[in-house]
Structure 1
């Protein structure tokens, strides 16, 4: 069995991924604004909701397959508001009901990611995400909550409620999480921390360090250590 983590493109989704190990492993999961649909070779079929803080998770020996939904997309697939899944891992049967057909297809598939992706795309065709959510995800990077609400014709309270439903967070927390995610991706590419702080809008490297420690639970250098 190949060990490690692999990611690949999946049409209409953020990505498909696979993590394998012949022994039990522990890893740190950090917030990225996304939700995931996962199936393990032990037979578990479940959903990971949007996280607000980093946490350690232990994986059993075997392979875990998943598809990831970008910020604001998960609720359209899963059928529940994102805040109902925040910081949770939930069996898919609690959301969709028992799906023997899907479970059988996963158990016999050469590539379970393809099965998960098609199940997700079928749901997305039936209930596509609200375009407003993607506009919010782009706008929180540079605009204030008041300006975003005004541009979208919403009150700040309405915007907050729409964000909770779509992302699991209010707009301010969404901004923090998405900025953190961009910073971590740059760090994995080997970009200098001071440059990361500048490119992602932190006031300085110390500000970046505080935010990473707060959201991930460990310093950035430790988070991206091989």
Structure 2
């Protein structure tokens, strides 16, 4: 089963998966869709980092427990100390980014905790306390694109040139602002559809030209038809 809640870390979400959410063939029952985020992961003794995705990710392997902390878009690179584009579409060991001794100590701490989710959250809060707040442009860009604002208009409002915004966005989000806008538009559409809004209306309200445009984007980003993604087979 998959469950999530808002984290005590501002803008973040904590979540966990128990083995009954693993399909019989060993694949996780929930594909991870692109969302502009990066995650700190715990998997029974291992600490990993999920980089920003540009396509759906499905894990394979034996059924195990997972816990994670999903950072708000643009905030994880400062936490992990690496530009987001270096981890795009990857799952890497945290020890590849931090010292092995530190990671062993942190992994043992999570392993020993009654609740791995809370332990991960505590670790994130402790480290975040020593970090500066996200740059204002990051927050403003995410807010504007989540609301469906055009990239060009948002760049003008931020006073950042197109090339500079693309370079900054690759470091903060793993890809340029147009890809980020597309990913956030997909998430916006899924929220609408799952709340019961008809698909034709969902497409328009989310910023697509029409329902076929929405369907094409879902196939490209999620790797499956819209109906299947929404649970309709």
The answer to whether 1:178 aligns with 2:180 is no
Q: What per-residue deviation string (whole Å, max 9, x for no partner) do you get for residues 149-183 of structure 1?
A: 33222221111111111111101111000000111
Task: Tell me: CA distance 1:195–1:139, structure 2 relative to 1, closer, same or farther (3 Å).
Answer: same
TM superposition shift of 1:96 = 1.6
**Distance between the aligned counterparts of 1:47 and 1:80, measured in 2?**
11
1:154-169 superposed matches below 5 A: 154-169=160-175
Question: What TM-score do you get using the length of structure 2 for normalisation?
Answer: 0.88
Question: What TM-score do you get using the length of structure 1 for normalisation?
Answer: 0.91
1:47 to 46, 49, 54: 49
1:48-197 superposed matches below 5 A: 48-98=50-100, 99=102, 100-127=104-131, 128-140=133-145, 141-197=147-203
The answer to whether 1:201 aligns with 2:198 is no
Determine helix, strand or coil for the equivalent of 2:92.
Answer: strand
Q: What per-residue deviation string (whole Å, max 9, x for no partner) do you get for residues 47-78 of structure 1?
A: 10110011332242221011101111111211
Task: Tell me: CA distance 1:101–1:56, structure 2 relative to 1, closer, same or farther (3 Å).
Answer: closer
Residue of structure 2 equivalent to 1:21: 19
Determine helix, strand or coil for the equivalent of 2:181.
Answer: helix
Tell me, yes or no, if the aligned pair for 1:32 and 1:177 is still in contact at 8 Å: yes
Task: Tell me: CA distance 1:145–1:185, structure 2 relative to 1, closer, same or farther (3 Å).
Answer: closer
Residue of structure 2 equivalent to 1:30: 33
**Distance between the aligned counterparts of 1:206 and 1:93, measured in 2?**
43
2:4 to 4, 7, 16: 7
Structure 2 gap segments, 5+ residues each:
none
**Relative to total residues, which structure has the larger strand share, 1 or 2?**
1
Structure 1 gap segments, 5+ residues each:
none
TM superposition shift of 1:142 = 3.8
**Distance between the aligned counterparts of 1:9 and 1:164, measured in 2?**
26
Count how many residue pairs are aligned between Structure 1 and Structure 2. Answer: 222
**Distance between the aligned counterparts of 2:149 and 2:11, measured in 1?**
26
Task: Tell me: CA distance 1:112–1:69, structure 2 relative to 1, closer, same or farther (3 Å).
Answer: same
TM superposition shift of 1:195 = 2.0
